[in-house]
Structure 1
Amino acid sequence: MPRRTCRVVFTTTFAVSCLFSSVQSAHAVLGGSPLTPPAGASTSSHTVTPLAVAHAASAASGATSSSSSSSSSYTVQETTFGNGTVVREYLGANGSVFGIAWHGPQMPQLTDLLGTYFPQYLAGVQAVRAARGGGHGPVAVEQSGLVVRSGGHMGSFTGQAWLPQALPAGVGGSDIQ
């Protein structure tokens, strides 16, 4: 009987974890391609032209009306998951994700969102927690090649991550929201 119980528990746990990962997994990669929304998620996107770049372009051309430079524009793609968590991806003109922001009742899978930057983030979190004597709570990892800010509490999580070297002209970390 215990063997059968173990098998049932394993099978159930495996099935639930597979279902959860297929629904919640974002598959976006900071510095890479945007996510492919999972089933049940809704998406929207819009293009943004930073004001500082638009004003500089109009001043340089002597134009009185605002003009925009397509090379400095970026796209914000927003995905709302079935659980209510919202992930915004900031894509440069080359289609690469230079920033990500999230908010909602559940944390997104940071391993998916940060991609190859995830180990760097973990090392930064460990360093921050060691410096303050451990514990939990909001985390800010600010390095020359990666910035991640994450916090919240059960039912309300927020965060931003960006690559400072990949930010388009006229875009700052505060624009990743």
Structure 2
Amino acid sequence: MKIRLQGLLAAVALANCLSAHAALGAGPTYAASGSASSTQAVRRMSASAVPYTVNEATLADGTLVREYVGQSGIVFAATWHGPHTPDLSSLMGSHFAGYLDAVNQQHAQRGSAFGPATVQRSDVVVETGGHMGAYVGRAWVPADLPAGMSSDDIQ
């Protein structure tokens, strides 16, 4: 069953190839990709805080993806909401395999390959949910969050 679940999740990820282009821990690509409409905004947490940039991209399927980019130019978090879940393997990069293993374990324990998932690992945290036509989620690398920022700031 585990292999079947992995195959199913991999197929879903491949079916959504119109989505994410940047990966957690890598540089953003939405602003330069041209494959989605995008905007960019700088958000400051306080007058003394280090700014981070939020790149927003609306994918062809209507899903909005936000990339949180630190001062170093590296994506440390991402959020999404819309009619489809973006390609999480692309969005999460090297963190995807660990995420997939944890989700497969959760689904095996529940006896279902569907439903929301929360994965909390030392290297990545991922929260997904929603229902058909209205999916939401967020993922971040805890070690890469800027000083003074919490997971509550990732929306």
Q: Normalising by structure 2, report the TM-score.
A: 0.82
**Amino acid of the residue matched to residue 47 of structure 1?**
V
The unaligned stretches of length 5 or more in structure 1 are 1-16, 55-66
Amino acid paired to 1:128: Q
Kept after mapping to 1: 8 A contact 2:30/2:38? no
Could you tell me which of 91, 110, 131 is aligned with 1:113?
91
Task: Output one character per residue of 1:133-173: Cα deviation in whole Å (capped at 9) or x when no partner.
Answer: 33421000011111001111111100000000000011111
Kindly state the Cα deviation for residue 131 of structure 1 after the two structures are TM-superposed: 3.1
Shift of 1:82: 2.1
Larger Rg: 1
1:167 aligns with one of 145, 148, 154:
145
The structure 2 residue matched to 1:94, chosen from 69, 72, 82, is 72
Count, aligned residues: 141
Distance 1:39 1:95, change over 3 A: closer
Alignment TM-score, normalising by the size of structure 1 = 0.73
Task: After TM superposition, list the pairs within 5 Å mapping 1:131-150 onto structure 2.
Answer: 131-150=109-128
Structure 2 residue 48 is the aligned partner of structure 1 residue 68:
yes
Q: Are residue 25 (structure 1) and residue 19 (structure 2) matched?
A: yes
Percent identical: 44
Indicate the SS of the match to 2:53. Answer: strand
Q: Aligned-residue CA RMSD in angstroms?
A: 2.0
| SS, match of residue 30 in structure 2 | coil
- 1:78-106 deviation digits (Å, cap 9, x = unpaired): 00112210000000000100000000011
Larger helix proportion of the pair: 1
Q: Please, which runs of 5 or more residues in structure 2 have no aligned partner?
A: 1-13
